[in-house]
Structure 1
Amino acid sequence: MAQKDEAKAPAKKGAGIMKILFLLLAAVLLVSGAVGATLYYTGALHKTAEVAQEEEEPPAPKAAEGHGSKPAKAQRKAKAGGHGETAARAPIYQALDPPFIVNFEDQGVLRYLQIGLSVMAREQQIIDAVNNNMPQIRNNLILLFGGQKLETFNGNEGRERLRTQALEQIQAVLNEEIGEPGIEAIYYTAFVMQ
């Protein structure tokens, strides 16, 4: 009878170790699955693929910046397929936050205007240029909006004209800073008058 008890003891010890190993393996798989899912849904895995692709491409030689040269634009055109053709790219939108709040006078009454805007470009470099020059862009737009009359804001035609003028203001700043207008469109995201 003593031999039976001795035979069961090693079998129980082996089964206990197997359970622990199985639970440990299950925990490792669960944690790695959670980490992988988090990386996938946050886009960290996509960024890694983009970085690897950029590393494979040789850096473009820098052109001598002389009168009228636009190396950044030429490099983007070369990446798009050369010969001045631009590949169809998805638009990138950037809100100009916070919204613009300006006051203007209408027949002796002080009025307030809040305008929310977003710009659209097709290259992240252009959006970065907008962000880098945001103080100058905001200054020019505040001056533009503050110098308007009430009639400008009442009709769609006046609002569209104002939107076109705002686009021209932003493109002028970008032309001055990076040598190209960059921004294709500007859109209202809020338009409130009091």
Structure 2
Amino acid sequence: MAKDSKPAEEGAEAAPKKSKKLLIIIVLAVVLLLAAGAGAFLMMSGSKDDEHLDDDEVAQETAKKPAKKKKDKTAPPVFVNLDPFTVNLVPEVGDQYLQVVLSVELDEPPSQATLAMMMPRIRNNVTLLLSSKKASELQSKEGKEQLATEIQTEINSAIEPPTKNKRGEIIPPEGPVVSVLFTSFIIQ
């Protein structure tokens, strides 16, 4: 009988270790689900009123928006460094790659939280934009300046979707990104 009681005690000791790990995993999963649900709720609650408006009403709403507060000239600028982007360029002569590191200037400090929240969409849109370029388009200073403007538009569009006016023309948003700065730009 002594032999039978020993394996039972070993099994009892192993069970709490597994249950603790399982409990930790379950708690983490529940916390992540709650956070995702809260984020989805916040995103959806802000767009309820806009779903029922047609294009004319949207154009009127955008025209009626109060002018943004003037930026305090004495406040220091807010810069956010983005992780490096490495993409394949559209082939011209063999495979070519672009590695670029960006910093974005924001209009005000609270915009930094919005930028961080939308970062997966921003990275996707910027990666798609960069991979659609040819190396010859990006060699000149003008090409780089044009790319910076396009990246700024992409980031602002990811944060605040563009609207249409009465004619159906797309009006780019005046998002929080004031400028895009290249800190590294390598084409191979």
Instruction: Give TM-score, length-normalised by structure 1.
Output: 0.54
Q: Which has the higher contact order (CA 8 A, sep 6+)?
A: 2
Cα shift at 1:85: 3.3
Matched AA of 1:134: M
Q: Please, which of 115, 127, 131 is the counterpart of residue 142 of structure 1? A: 127
Q: Does 1:118 align with 2:103?
A: yes
Cα distance between partner residues in 2 of 1:189 and 1:141: 16
| Aligned equivalent of 1:186, options 174, 180, 185 | 180
**CA spacing shift, 1:188–1:66, aligned 2, 3 Å:** same
1:104 aligns with 2:98: no
Q: Aligned equivalents of 1:164 and 1:107: distance in 2?
A: 24
Match of 1:155 in 2: 140
State which structure, 1 or 2, has the greater radius of gyration over its C-alpha atoms.
1
> CA 1:168 to 1:108, structure 2 compared with 1: closer, same or farther past 3 Å?
same
- After superposition, residues 35-54 of structure 1 pair within 5 angstroms as none
Structure 2 spans left out of the alignment, 5+ residues: 1-47, 51-57, 163-172
Q: 1:85 aligns with which of 57, 65, 70?
A: 70
Instruction: Specify the code of the residue in structure 2 equivalent to 1:124.
Output: P
Change (3 A) 1:125 1:149: same
Tell me which amino acid in the other structure corresponds to 2:187. Answer: M
- 3-state SS, counterpart of residue 107 of structure 1: coil
Which consecutive residues of structure 1, in runs of 5 or more, have no partner in the other structure? 1-64, 78-83
Question: What TM-score do you get using the length of structure 2 for normalisation?
Answer: 0.56
Cα RMSD of the aligned pairs, angstroms, is 2.7
Runs of 4+ in 1 over 4 A off after TM superposition: 65-70
**Paired positions, count:** 119
